[in-house]
A and B are shown apart, each in its own frame.
Chain A
């Protein structure tokens, strides 16, 4: 009753080989487990092979729930850069700090990271040329000139955390600067909501090439 009348007869039956099947299945399992647990390793290898291009001129950086696009950048000392930071999240504030090492505060569950220990922007001249729906800009020790008037946001004075613009959902800021002479590997991250965004993957790596 379930048979199709056109069903081929037994003699036409062909089968695949047992060995091919076992090898294939094992292969798929290995690929799957590799993808699941080794994805950052795979990404690093791919990057070591292909490299990331040196970014210059206008650079778009997007903040999302909980990631940056791109999550890796390479700049060269002395280049003139305009960075346009846009918050793509429909409902969350995000920020972007750049630095190295961590400052921490103790808690019940062990130390919580609050910001980077070393601030990339220390002493750097930054000009804000466009801004919309910015919640606040912590200037810290950067030398900030602002061309947007009146300030649509709160500017936070030095001593209140790393240099970081915090954007409302849909917000953007554009700032121009010359890459300072600080070659090496730096990191960027969002520490909003007590480090939760950073843990959830909102982090990136910035490589500064010497001039």
Chain B
């Protein structure tokens, strides 16, 4: 895309007159909030008049969401044409296109990744605040326990719903899946151009929830506990609602892309592993996100109307059941993409054919199918023994399909010619950490142990090992692996490995200790604790801060390379999957002509032909 310099002068003056779409989004969002909030608040009969009430803030928030999404470009690019008027949307070029509406799946993918990384930083700052508070055994950073609990809730909520659920699905998925299936666009490009803007909106809603008051329920928004919270819980329900809506749209888009946009010859047998992973995750999302969104709506109504669904008049335990019915599958929403990514990177780095590919797919799909059977293992203390046992059994059983995926990775590593690059060691680290998370999970599935360690830092250690250890390390592996694809630039192996080793050591030093301190009696959700736990908490906090700095180092380093790293060849890993058959970074239209797939992608025996062939100039499939 070249711009014509002759037009420079008029361009400049016009330039200063155009408002960046994100600012327009903010302004329209503000107007939307003020308008709807004012209308609803005006209908309230009270004197003295209150401008922001529980009900008015909900409507105001809806107005803000509409204003924000329309203002960032949806109005000009989507709504106007829908009403039959000409689209007045001009997509800017260069870095500016990332700050507004776009229908290009690569731009949308990067927008998702950057929003998600922003959430990671905000929630990471919250984690640091918690760890600083826990360095002493009394209130000192925070004044009241509610402030600590709000921070825990903001951390957990933003991490789960904007990082865990979003980075590898909305981010990598949107970027890679159309490329992987040999298509120039996703199935619903306009829809995803819109949905990506819900992510920053949702993150900010949750991050600003303390403006309405502290809430104490953690990332689960538990009713009826939430009933006794101040109004901040309203922004929890609403913010998560926006984030989930975005993920639901991603799921619909990816499923349709994988089913309908595959290049000729790309049969289900040849579909890349990451695409299988995205398909499994998207089906999980399509099943469970509507369920949890409705639960949150019930929670909201329970608060603002108020309706007695989950109070003593209603059914207090129902919220827990509804939440964990989604909550456990959520864990797989986070981890399945990571497993799929291992199977993508290992064969390339090991120059070896993927081992037992079918079993890997069976593993991913069965993890998906079983995930809805185990929710009650989060509620053992509320259950009778005969109810506990089946859930204990199912929980232990789900490790079997997970094990398939794991074994595919190990089988592929076995006797391969492994190149020790940064993505390789990050995948190996991820496998190591995830193994610890999985093994401690077996203990938790065991009722006797569970009763002992329930709601202690043992649990906190367990799930951080699966989520950070599994998903975040894999995401870092993906970032380093695909950096040449995104940017056409290559990182430096020494610095890459330095960053990887840094986070690995700091991570294990921090979270391995949580198991021990949990067994010694450190409870979750408490900012003050008995004196004997203080030295160990202090030390954990020091390592946690080192870990935070380690993540910061990696993020800054990757951004630096992205912008001005040394240019590299287009397919540095000599990978055979389709996304690497395009230019790096891919052109506006990734494939000049639609490729035709003639064999699977994972055969790395030396004399193997390329698995795809370019088609004739016209790009029409002949099969």
Please give the distance in Å from B426's CB to the nearest CB on chain A: 31
Distance between B464 CB and nearest chain A CB, rounded to angstroms? 26
Q: Is A70 within 8 A of B20, CB to CB? A: no
The B391-406 residues at the A interface (CB cut-off 8 A) are none
- CB contacts under 8 Å to B, within A87-108, are 90-92
Count of chain B residues near A, Cβ 8 A = 58
Q: How far is the CB of A29 from chain B (nearest CB, A)?
A: 11
User: Complex Cα distance A144/B46, Å?
Assistant: 29
Separation in Å of the B43 CB from the closest CB of chain A?
A: 16
Q: Which of B90-112 contact A (CB under 8 A)?
A: 90-94, 96, 99, 103-104
**Interface stretch among A2-10, A149-157, A158-166, A180-188?**
A2-10
Complexed CA–CA distance, A177 and B569 (Å): 85
Complex: A66 Cα to B204 Cα, angstroms: 23
Task: Assess the B15–A92 pair: CB atoms within 8 A.
Answer: no
Q: Produce 1/0 per residue, B521-534, CB < 8 A to A.
A: 00000001000000
A21-B189 contact in complex given A11-B7, A14-B90, A199-B146, C-beta closer than 8 Å = no
Evaluate contact between B230 and A36: CB separation under 8 angstroms. no
Given that A70-B48, A199-B144 are contacting pairs, would A14 and B15 also be in contact in the complex, using a CB cutoff of 8 Å?
A: yes
Residue of B nearest to A4 (CB): B87
Residues of A within 8 A of B225 (CB): none
CB distance B96 to A15 under 8 Å? Answer: yes
Known interface pairs A35-B208, A35-B211, A62-B46; A6-B87 also in contact (CB < 8 Å):
yes
Name the residue on A nearest B528 (C-beta). Answer: A109
> Are A200 and B4 touching (Cβ within 8 A)?
no
For the A-B complex, the count of residue pairs with Cβ-Cβ distances under 8 Å equals: 109
> With an 8 A cutoff between CB atoms, is A123 at the interface?
no
A67 within 8 A of B: yes
Task: Tell me whether B47 is interfacial, beta carbon within 8 Å.
Answer: yes
Contact across chains for A66 and B96 when beta carbons are under 8 A apart: no
- Selected contact of B189 from candidates A2, A60, A69, CB within 8 Å: A2
In the complex, A24→B26 CA distance in Å?
11
Q: What 0/1 readout, one digit per residue, does chain B (129-162) give for beta carbons within 8 Å of chain A? A: 0000000001100001110000000000000000
Whether the Cβ atoms of B208 and A32 lie closer than 8 Å is yes
Provide the residues of chain B in CB contact with A92, threshold 8 Å.
228
Q: Determine if B16 is an interface residue (Cβ-Cβ < 8 Å).
A: yes
Contacts of A11 in B (CB 8 A): 3-4, 7
Does B441 sit within 8 A of A, measured CB to CB? no
Would you call B370 an interface residue if the criterion is a C-beta within 8 Å of the partner chain's C-beta atoms?
no
Which of A2, A13, A20, A91 interacts with B16 by CB under 8 Å?
A20
Chain A residues bordering chain B, tally (CB within 8 A): 38
- Please tell me if B213 contacts chain A, counting CB pairs below 8 Å: yes
Chain B contacts for A199, CB-based, 8 A: 144-146
Q: When chains A and B are docked, how far (Å) is the Cα of A10 from the Cα of B2?
A: 8
- A110 and B138: CB pair below 8 A? yes
**Contact indicator A66/B3 (Cβ below 8 Å):** no
Distance of B123 from chain A, by nearest CB (Å): 14
Cβ–Cβ contact B104 & A91, under 8 A: no
Could you say which residues of chain B place their CB within 8 Å of the CB of A69? Answer: 46, 48, 50
Which residues does chain A contribute within 8 Å of B311, judged by CB atoms?
91
Does B223 reach chain A (CB closer than 8 Å)?
Answer: no
Which residue, of A2, A67, A110, has the highest number of chain B Cβ atoms within 10 A?
A2
Closest chain-B Cβ to A81's Cβ sits at a distance in Å of 15
Q: Which chain B positions have C-beta within 8 A of A17?
A: 15-16
Nearest CB in chain A: distance from B56 CB, A: 14
Contact B213 A2 (CB under 8 A): no
Inter-chain CA distance A90–B2, complex, in Å, is 63
Q: Which residues of A contact B145 (CB under 8 A)?
A: 199
In the complex, B285 has a CB within 8 A of chain A: no
Q: Does A148 contact B (CB under 8 A)?
A: no
List the B side residues contacting A28 at CB < 8 Å: 26
* CB of B411 closer than 8 Å to a CB of A: no
4 tightest A-B CB contacts, nearest first: A14-B14, A2-B103, A199-B144, A16-B18
14 A–B contact pairs at CB < 8 A? A2-B103, A4-B77, A6-B86, A7-B91, A11-B7, A14-B14, A14-B90, A16-B19, A16-B96, A17-B15, A21-B99, A32-B204, A69-B50, A201-B214
Known contacts A14-B17, A201-B230, then 5 further A-B pairs from the complex at CB < 8 Å, ordered by chain A residue: A7-B87, A11-B3, A14-B14, A60-B47, A200-B144
